[in-house]
A and B are shown apart, each in its own frame.
Chain A
Amino acid sequence: MRYAETGFELEIDLSRGSIDRVESDPELTKLHLGGLGTSARILWDRVPAETDAFSEDNLLIFASGLLCGTAAPGCNRTIVSTFSPQTQLLAYSMMGGFWAPELKHAGYDKVILRGKSPELVYLWIHNDKVEIRDATHLRGKGATETAECIRRELKEPDAQVASIGLAGENRVFYASIEQGRSSASRGGIGAVMGDKGLKAIAVRGTKDVNVARPAEFMSLCDDVLKYIKFREDHPIPGVPAILAVLGSPQEMRIVDEEWHTTNFMWGNARTRRKDFWTHEIEEKWRETQESVRTRLIGCYNCPMKCGATISVPGQPTYMMKCYSKLTYTMAAYSDLEFGFKIAQRATEYGVDGFSAPQVMAFALELLEAGILTDADFPGMPADVEGRFFWLLDRIVRREGIGDVLADGTYWAARRIGKGAEKFDHNTIKKHEQLPLKLGMLNPVYYLMYSTGEKINITQIEGQFPQAPFPTMEEREAFVKDWFQVPHEKFKQYLLDWELRGDNSNPLYPTIEASCDIVDWQEKMHYLDDALGTCAGLSSFPLKPPYHIHNFPSFVSAGTGIDFDEAGIWKAATRNRTLLRAINVRRGMRRADDKPPEDHWKKRFPELETKLLDAYYKLKGFDSNGIPTKESLLDLDLACVADDLEQRGILGKANATSQKTPTGEAEEGKEVLSHA
């Protein structure tokens, strides 16, 4: 008997219309835990390196985390993975909500989709009954609307539905998969779902999810709940409001947006408005937020309330969480009311709340610069809000200029030419990033931005404060009950970190300390993505209830497979290395590991070279960012080493690295171009 996991996966071939229930290999759980870890293994084993994102051979995997559906609070994440049409690298995105536990209760850990359906279909999973059903009547419908229609036609109000909108159907490179207030948005995975002709997956399950050692597991859960309550009563002093508490950033609850609006950039990641936040604006935004917010809502088995139901008069109700309330607002230099209005339409269309507004702001910049002309925008309104709605409508339908913009800033800039490339200044590996432009290089963030396989900073950072505390008193107070650290040295790193002087950015944290900090942050995310724990209770906030010291007990008591700290750390390292190998096999190299050029005004090429070298060394990569044979063998990934060797990637590593100047990407070194 398998514990915590069901031990079964659904294999769906949409070309042939076949459905198989397949038992998974328990050895893979020991190696990769579950969720993203085991999905990555499937993608490595089964998707040839040359496969285009829009090929029948590309897989789209919906995975539950290993602990989803157990009593562990906040373990509810669905991890969707595939290859991205935008980056042609691995794309994975997580969503909370209710979908993954429901899949577990239906008796499956994953849904693995291959092929393409000739007609638009949706998948209906009801315990042992699984059907591919016609969805032609849902074509063009919004993501939320689709979920409602499916629940009605199945007469299953308790079914959980993940669906795409028009953007996914039309293969927009930043199309999302929506599920209630949650979405898996990054990397264009909604476009892959649309390419496969799959409108939605509805699931309803009424089976048990078992754990191996019930009493022990329950006592761990009770401790987590107690600590969540403690943290609710003890917010962390000296940090911005949204970083003081647990959960996904509490954007729905908190009105004070001084930190975002004065530190993040407006427009196409262009303008910082340090004086923007005033008392008047705070009052106006408070009124807007409180008038449209019906209720704060939570995800499956989690006491946090990171989401909200939003009802803007004259528009259908929708659900929202986190920072998307501001991304449209700030890209358009508009206000919060506009943000809530356009997010409703964007949610129905199913687009990523980071990329979509940035692409639209980029288009308007090109118009202003004369690179695009009025002829490219026939009939576009004069006001900026109207323009954003107009652009959004065209992008998701791929009409006119919308077809170009639907590929994201990187590809659009290259299709437009005439100097448009310069306006693509906020992408990493062709993927739009948070609109942040800062002064002094931060060594920890330099490494995370450059090397993160997620290509998305918000899903890489966490644990360690983003900035030093000004006084020693504050630092000492912070480290006093900081039991989450994997090692005591992290406390010293924080104690020694100053705002100015020798012990400040960019030279402090030191190279070694920076690598250690990134290693810890990264490990926590890899564990969350395998176990299904929400980042908001684990890898993202400061002092979370889940940490490296209780994860081994959770996994051991849950699955009955014993892990100690070293064992779980190694599993996370294995998963991290496997993801790197997947991308390396698709052409990614050191030259691609770099932040946007203008992310920091003050850059230090020599220091950056040393940082990257030291990070690669710690990770067991060679100087070109390729996992070494020794590290792969040490991580029981001999099959990966063999494959890379056969392709000449491992053997050639040293020769290539000598030719590649650090931190400078040459055109010839780009990863796979879009087919």
Chain B
Amino acid sequence: MPKVMKKIKSITIDADKCSGCRACEVICSLFHASPRYSSNNPARSRIRIVREPLRDIYLPVYAGEYTAAECTGRDTYIIDGKKYDECDFCRASCPSRDLFKEPDSGLPLKCDMCEDEPPLAKPKCVEWCLNDALIYEEREEEVEEPQASPPDIEVGIEALIDKHGLQQVLDTVARMSKS
């Protein structure tokens, strides 16, 4: 496979600095609203703070890949005397929870690092976190040439198939195209 240089974007999450204000959730939902910035709704955000103030748990987590099935076993972590569910760290949009799903359609959400044209200096959540709990870094890495990724529509339909089954999606499309 041919090698290419790829820009890796990463966010260091310094959970110790998180104040739990949820500005990251707010600005994420605004940036991804259509038209842009027209509506705020943290339930649509691609970053969520797992937040349990009385147990001092503040954990910003980004939406990652959609998964069709939940894990069979779920572990518990104890760090500095604080108990975390394995799911607290998990980025997946998964059937076991409401996190990272569009509240209206149930379709999965995924962090896109606020890709834009022209590109932003950093993702909006990082810009709006004045407490420096989110730190953005870019670096170059040599990777294998990626295969063309499927277009958005394919990702969406795949998610619908996972959710409802292929036949139901085909039937629905057939019915809708007739009317």
Question: A298-B19, A302-B23 are known contacts. Are A209 and B40 too (CB-CB below 8 A)?
Answer: yes
* Residues on the B chain within 8 Å of A510, using CB: none
CB within 8 Å of A: which B18-33 residues: 19-23, 26-27, 30, 33
Nearest CB in chain A to that of B99: its residue: A158
Nearest CB in chain A to that of B50: its residue: A157
* Contact (Cβ within 8 A) A207 B41: yes
Nearest Cβ in chain B — how far from A142, in angstroms? 12
Question: A105-B43, A303-B131 are known contacts. Are A214 and B38 too (CB-CB below 8 A)?
Answer: yes
Give complex CA distance A235, B110 in Å: 40
Give complex CA distance A213, B40 in Å: 13
Nearest CB in chain B to that of A180: its residue: B53
Question: A71-B30, A148-B54 are known contacts. Are A208 and B20 too (CB-CB below 8 A)?
Answer: no
* Contact (Cβ within 8 A) A210 B39: yes
**Residue from B19, B40, B52 in contact with A70 in the complex, judged by beta carbons closer than 8 Å:** B40
* Contact (Cβ within 8 A) A298 B20: yes
* Contact (Cβ within 8 A) A214 B56: no
**Residue from A70, A181, A206 in contact with B103 in the complex, judged by beta carbons closer than 8 Å:** A206
Question: A218-B37, A297-B19, A301-B26 are known contacts. Are A309 and B128 too (CB-CB below 8 A)?
Answer: no
* Contact (Cβ within 8 A) A105 B41: yes
* Residues on the B chain within 8 Å of A296, using CB: 19
**Residue from A148, A211, A214, A305 in contact with B19 in the complex, judged by beta carbons closer than 8 Å:** A305
* Residues on the B chain within 8 Å of A316, using CB: 54
B58 at the interface (CB under 8 A from A): yes
* Contact (Cβ within 8 A) B56 A305: no
A299 at the interface (CB under 8 A from B): yes
**Residue from A157, A302, A318 in contact with B21 in the complex, judged by beta carbons closer than 8 Å:** A302
**Interface residue total, chain A, C-beta cutoff 8 A:** 43
Give complex CA distance A370, B22 in Å: 54
CB within 8 Å of A: which B40-58 residues: 40-44, 52-56, 58
Give complex CA distance A591, B129 in Å: 50
* Contact (Cβ within 8 A) A299 B41: no
* Contact (Cβ within 8 A) B37 A217: yes
User: Please, what's the 1-or-0 string for A246-285, where 1 marks a CB less than 8 Å from any CB in chain B?
Assistant: 0000000000000000000000000000000000000000
* Contact (Cβ within 8 A) B38 A71: no
**Interface residue total, chain B, C-beta cutoff 8 A:** 30
A611 at the interface (CB under 8 A from B): no
* Residues on the B chain within 8 Å of A210, using CB: 38-39
* Residues on the A chain within 8 Å of B19, using CB: 295-298, 303, 305
**Residue from A205, A232, A300 in contact with B22 in the complex, judged by beta carbons closer than 8 Å:** A300
**Residue from A144, A148, A303 in contact with B130 in the complex, judged by beta carbons closer than 8 Å:** A303
* Residues on the A chain within 8 Å of B128, using CB: 225
Nearest Cβ in chain A — how far from B144, in angstroms? 39
* Contact (Cβ within 8 A) B26 A309: no
Give complex CA distance A580, B55 in Å: 44
* Residues on the B chain within 8 Å of A71, using CB: 26-27, 30, 37, 40
B175 at the interface (CB under 8 A from A): no
User: Please, what's the 1-or-0 string for A187-213, where 1 marks a CB less than 8 Å from any CB in chain B?
Assistant: 000000000000000000111111100
A229 at the interface (CB under 8 A from B): yes
Nearest CB in chain A to that of B36: its residue: A214
Nearest Cβ in chain A — how far from B13, in angstroms? 15
CB within 8 Å of B: which A171-192 residues: 180-181
B35 at the interface (CB under 8 A from A): yes
A35 at the interface (CB under 8 A from B): no
A317 at the interface (CB under 8 A from B): yes
**Residue from B21, B30, B103, B129 in contact with A299 in the complex, judged by beta carbons closer than 8 Å:** B21
User: Please, what's the 1-or-0 string for A207-242, where 1 marks a CB less than 8 Å from any CB in chain B?
Assistant: 111110011011000000100110010000000000
Question: A229-B130, A295-B56 are known contacts. Are A215 and B37 too (CB-CB below 8 A)?
Answer: yes
Question: A295-B58, A300-B21, A302-B21 are known contacts. Are A208 and B37 too (CB-CB below 8 A)?
Answer: no
* Contact (Cβ within 8 A) B36 A225: no
CB within 8 Å of A: which B145-177 residues: none
A53 at the interface (CB under 8 A from B): no
**Residue from A98, A144, A208, A225 in contact with B54 in the complex, judged by beta carbons closer than 8 Å:** A144
Give complex CA distance A207, B23 in Å: 17
* Contact (Cβ within 8 A) A303 B43: no
Question: A210-B38, A210-B39 are known contacts. Are A305 and B53 too (CB-CB below 8 A)?
Answer: no
Nearest CB in chain B to that of A147: its residue: B54
* Residues on the A chain within 8 Å of B54, using CB: 144, 148, 309, 316-319
Question: A144-B54, A319-B53 are known contacts. Are A298 and B38 too (CB-CB below 8 A)?
Answer: no
Nearest Cβ in chain A — how far from B9, in angstroms? 22
Give complex CA distance A366, B41 in Å: 54
A294 at the interface (CB under 8 A from B): yes
Nearest CB in chain B to that of A148: its residue: B54
**Residue from A73, A211, A298, A301 in contact with B39 in the complex, judged by beta carbons closer than 8 Å:** A211
Question: A148-B54, A225-B130, A295-B56 are known contacts. Are A208 and B39 too (CB-CB below 8 A)?
Answer: yes
**Residue from A69, A180, A215 in contact with B40 in the complex, judged by beta carbons closer than 8 Å:** A69
**9 closest Cβ contacts across the A-B interface?**
A298-B21, A206-B43, A303-B130, A214-B37, A208-B39, A298-B19, A206-B103, A214-B38, A218-B37
User: Beyond A148-B54, A316-B54: 10 further Cβ-contacts under 8 Å?
Assistant: A71-B37, A157-B52, A205-B43, A206-B43, A207-B43, A300-B21, A301-B23, A303-B23, A303-B131, A305-B19
